[in-house]
Structure 1
């Protein structure tokens, strides 16, 4: 092989390498940028979903805590104004129901669930007990029932957070809890 052929071959190989680098370099960079953007978007979506789930958990807990406190006060013989109870419950219920509705953005349907029904039913029972000035033993029974909902409520929240944080498809977080089935309102 002559020196001219070797030189020409070297120039062609160098040109191919340079052309490949000119085309592949920006493509690799763009792919890397796309992956970074996808990761950032996934992290933002996960953070938003976790915030929605946590917010629903907080509002649910506030509502339930208020019901338990009202029962405890009534048990202790403290007078509770029903109109104040209604006003406070309405604000807590609206906040919880709004937060439940927003969990649909994380893939969960809680606004028309057994959890929401249970809390609405519990509120109605507490209100009825306050109106009829129920005896302390009835109030204690109702308070025990309401207090028993704290652990399952936490389980529901933790299930949702686990699915969201691990990017799993949402399942029914109420399964296996007292909220799994919708409860008909008590007469």
Structure 2
């Protein structure tokens, strides 16, 4: 039918990746394409923060601080951001606007995240969108340097693909069952 549809149907979340990661220049090109998402009033109410190296460990520390966990459970939580060499924090940064409510601006940020996930997958990278119970915790927001008006939407975990490990397509009910037509 079309290249975009084929890319969407081929996309799979990749929970395990190698240590390879796209360069900042490659990310900029992909983000430029993802920024074409529907955006009422062209507010661009989002930003993306790339976490590499020690920034991932600092995120792990923030997750532990937010959780209050100790011992082995804290160590396990602290290690989660180390699962991929690159984490892309998706941030909703809504702006006051008389015609564009905050929920719509958050939807725009989520759209950027999804398009970026598709573009990374299409470019040959392993990617998985992750969230969790501490995504909107103040300690995690501080670790990203978020402003009071900004909200973390989650992270795209990005790395090299492990080709031998192609996750199967998840079983879902046919999408047509979710289509309701009103005349």
Q: Which bracket does the TM-score occupy, shorter chain normalised?
A: under 0.3
Which is greater in Rg?
1
The structure with the largest helix share of the pair is 1
TM score, norm. by length of structure 2: 0.25
The structure with the largest strand share of the pair is 2
TM score, norm. by length of structure 1: 0.25
* Structure having greater relative contact order (Cα 8 Å, sep ≥ 6): 2
